[in-house]
Chains A and B, each alone.
Chain A
Amino acid sequence: MSFKEWFSRRENQDRTIFVLYLILIAYPMLKPMGLPIPIEEPTIKSFELLENVPEGGVIVLVSDEGFPSWAELGAGEIAVYRHAFKKVREDGCKIICLTCYEIAGKILTERSISQVDLTGLTYGEEWVQLGYIPGYEAVLSAMTDDLKGIAPVDQFGTPTKDIPILKDINNIDDYDYLYACTYTAMDVYIRQWGEKALVRGIPIVINMLSGTVPLAMPYYRAGTMTAYLNSITAGAGYEKLIGRPGMGAALMDAQSTAHLLGIGVIIVAQVAFVIKLTTKPKEEKE
């Protein structure tokens, strides 16, 4: 069987693409190429918004990513957590962590916090983890009215009314920064937070998959979403801004090669199709 006959079969075409994809992703991860990391304007804006949280401000971090999206969103998530905890040390800010989409978010919150240096910080006084609160959109809505109502206990079973950090924090009037990391619809956060946050001048920053960024553009242009992080590209950029390169920088090379493959596949397939259309079959010529 010639290569042409072999490649004309659909499953062989798919196998070829899969193998090329695997090689082009794996090679840069094993041998990093050190390609330049661009920093987009929304990433810089996200960084500045967190940097400008006033002294003693309350930072709310909602981690609704799941395990599948960790590779894409993890870099940005860890970078934001590191930046937020830096604000805790330097400016006495407070952090509230919670998750409301699925329980994986709680586990990934712990994974993010494990990447932060917590020396000298006390749980309950500088930060609190409310864990997984089922309800998704209902929780996002309720946390703007009554935080302790939807979270009577924290992740470890301590009543929230007894946690020192939450003593004067009750609703959206007490928040200074809203962050969400999600691998599903981001308009849910805008729906529940957007209006109330806009009126109070509280920035909303959403870390999302690159596939959902086009949907976010209407909200970003309208100002309802103050800034966003475009998956791993923003994660690598954010790491550069906080001066702590990590997972994002390591995966950027793989992203470059994968994108080049996508571009190559489209161009090659379309060119081959055009050539096939314009080339007359031999039988017709005879």
Chain B
Amino acid sequence: MSWLRRREVCIALYVIPALIILINHFTGQLSAAQSEVILWASIIATFAIFLGVINMFQHHITVLTRKRSRWPYSIILLAAFISTFIFNYIYPTGYDYIINNLLSSLQMALLAYVGFYSYTLFFRASGTKNPHVLMLLVAMLLGLFYNLPMRDAIWTGWATIGTWVKDVPNTGGMNALLIGVALGTITLFVRTILGYEESYLGG
């Protein structure tokens, strides 16, 4: 059974489903096979979550047994995980409460951090001589003025300038980045299909 661990088997496991999806995209002849492949991928991804749960329990139980720093947080995490998991099956009302009232509020609060960190980004990025960052700052300023709901009350020209920035340099730059990234993705795919890419195989 050691042949299963050979590099070629791992590469074949990647290449065959990839080719099925690629061929179906262009010819439409393998749609049943594609659906099966995608279904298998979903099932494997679901099983992979077990791996994650095991890793999480391993780590936090180690923290608890060895009384490492911040061990009370491990208790909270494990208790929250187990209670949410059990509630889903035996107490759906409690589960809905946790999702609608606790989880959604916590997630919204955490996303608010992005707003706060955006402002520290403005502050850190400002105060610079770097020409690239200066250009970024000017673009940020124009974008902020353009998206300001009361921009017309300050000056009606912001809409014109903002629209030009959005339609001309932004669209041009985005198109260029899109093409570059797409080509990079295709290149990596070709390398992986040909077996030259090894990083996803691990050590």
- B-binding residues in A (CB < 8 A): 13-14, 17-18, 21, 35-38, 66-71, 104, 107, 134-135, 138, 142, 145, 210, 213-215, 217-218, 221, 230, 233, 236, 252-253, 255-256, 258-263, 265-270, 272-273, 277
Contact = CB atoms under 8 A, between A and B. Distances in A.
A263 B145 contact: yes
B167 to A, nearest CB: 7
A273 B126 CA distance: 8
Interface string B148-165: 111111000000000000
Nearest to A72: B111
Contact of A269 (B31, B122, B149, B151): B122
Q: Counting chain B CB atoms within 10 Å of each CB, which of A35, A145, A270 scores highest?
A: A270
Nearest to A268: B126
Given A21-B116, A252-B149, A266-B140, A215 B127 contact: no
Given A261-B119, A262-B122, A270-B126, A67 B104 contact: yes
A217 B141 contact: no
Contacts, number: 120
A214 B174 contact: yes
A15 B115 CA distance: 14
B170 interface: yes
A266 B151 contact: no
B15 interface: no
Q: Counting chain A CB atoms within 10 Å of each CB, which of B38, B147, B170 scores highest?
A: B147
A20 to B, nearest CB: 8
A276 to B, nearest CB: 8
Chain B interface size range: 35 or more
For chain B, what secondary structure do more than half of its interface residues adopt (helix, strand, loop), or is it mixed? helix
B174 A215 contact: yes
B17 to A, nearest CB: 12
Contact of A17 (B42, B103, B120, B153): B120
B107 A66 contact: yes
B82 interface: no
Q: Counting chain B CB atoms within 10 Å of each CB, which of A35, A233, A259 scores highest?
A: A259
Interface string B177-193: 01000000000000000
A230 B163 CA distance: 13
Given A256-B149, A261-B119, A269 B126 contact: yes
B119 A67 contact: no
29 contacts: A13-B120, A13-B123, A17-B119, A35-B149, A36-B152, A36-B153, A37-B149, A68-B107, A68-B111, A70-B108, A71-B108, A104-B104, A135-B42, A138-B38, A210-B147, A214-B174, A215-B174, A221-B171, A230-B147, A233-B147, A233-B149, A252-B149, A258-B115, A259-B144, A262-B118, A262-B144, A263-B141, A265-B122, A273-B128
B26 to A, nearest CB: 13
B166 interface: yes
B151 A38 contact: yes
A217 B170 contact: yes
* Top 5 A-B pairs, shortest CB-CB distance: A68-B111, A269-B126, A273-B127, A67-B104, A67-B107
Nearest to A150: B35
A217 B111 contact: no
Contacts of B140: 262, 266
A69 to B, nearest CB: 7
Contacts of A218: 171, 174-175, 178
Contacts of A258: 115
B123 A269 contact: yes
Interface string B94-127: 0000011001100110110001101110110111
